[in-house]
Amino acid sequence: MGSDGKPKAFHQTPAIVGLTGGIGSGKSTVVRMFGELGVHWVDADDVAREVVEPGTPGLAQIAEHFGQDILTDEGTLDRAQLRQIVFANPDERTWLEGLLHPMIRDELIRQLKPEGYALPYVLLVSPLLLETDQHNLVSRVVVVDVPVETQIERTMARDTNERDQVERIIAAQMPREKRLERADAIIDNDRSLDDVERQVRELHGKFLVDFGY
Ligand code: ADP
């Protein structure tokens, strides 16, 4: 509280806490719980889509580089085709990443500074937080953790994917142990949602203290 009895407005730029985890670990579930406590969050996957929406400089440059055939009839990015091209051609992948990564980074930084925000930290949710330079943006890393078997079962149930498809995605991601080594805090999501909510409230309280609320 300020001396006038109103909640203290936070004039400093809020700290950025990164939240990551493998596919189906529960990132979206956990970040929604932080959101209910008033924490502002930005999803890096959403931003990665936003920078190539129709009308963006990102999409215009991709169409200029790869030709108009990279667009669907509706004028959106043909992601499946783009994936095939960069999968087969590392130089094109490098070109694409050189274009998109700085754009994504700039847009993340912009969205992570909400107007009139009263809490001392915000969350950056990203499956690739530790694999990309996004980790340089954050002052803490929170890992949402479940055993691989839980990860597989929950992803299969959510996306109606085959087991081997999910296993392939997991194999391409950072291994669980390595991710945990990089964690400043861990949310154990192999629990009931009530228990996870308790962990979220506890961590929120700790961040309010750590970041000087
Ligand atoms: P991510 O965003 O990391 O891919 P989600 O938050 O979408 O993961 O969680 C994967 C699936 O598991 C979703 O269908 C979600 O509802 C479910 N889920 C997440 N946490 C729990 C939990 N503690 N108990 C039961 N189901 C859960």
Per-residue pLDDT tens for 197-206?
Answer: 999 999 999 9
Based on its alpha-carbon atoms, the radius of gyration of the chain, rounded to whole angstroms, reads: 19
Residue of 25, 29, 145 to test ligand 1 pocket, by largest number of atoms within 8 Å of CB: 29
Question: How far is it, in rounded angstroms, from Cα 175 to Cα 146?
Answer: 12
Does the beta carbon of 81 sit less than 6 angstroms from any atom of ligand 1?
no
Listed in sequence order, the residues at least 6 apart from 85 whose beta carbon sits closer than 8 Å to its beta carbon are 66, 70, 92
Question: How far is it, in rounded angstroms, from Cα 162 to Cα 183?
Answer: 30
CATH code, residues 1-40+117-205: 3.40.50.300
Calculate mean pLDDT across residues 166-179: 94
Does the beta carbon of 193 sit less than 6 angstroms from any atom of ligand 1?
yes
On whether the CB atoms of residues 122 and 41 are closer than 8 A, the answer is: yes
Does the beta carbon of 127 sit less than 6 angstroms from any atom of ligand 1?
no
Question: How far is it, in rounded angstroms, from Cα 88 to Cα 8?
Answer: 54
Calculate mean pLDDT across residues 128-137: 92
Task: State the CB neighbour count (10 A cutoff) for residue 76.
Answer: 12
| 191 CA from centroid of ligand 1 (Å) | 11
Query: pTM value?
Result: 0.89
Domain residues of the chain, as ranges?
1-40+117-205, 46-111
Does the beta carbon of 28 sit less than 6 angstroms from any atom of ligand 1?
yes
Per-residue pLDDT tens for 40-98?
Answer: 999 999 999 999 999 999 999 999 999 999 999 999 999 999 999 998 999 999 999 99
Residue of 43, 145, 148, 154 to test ligand 1 pocket, by largest number of atoms within 8 Å of CB: 154
On whether the CB atoms of residues 121 and 14 are closer than 8 A, the answer is: yes
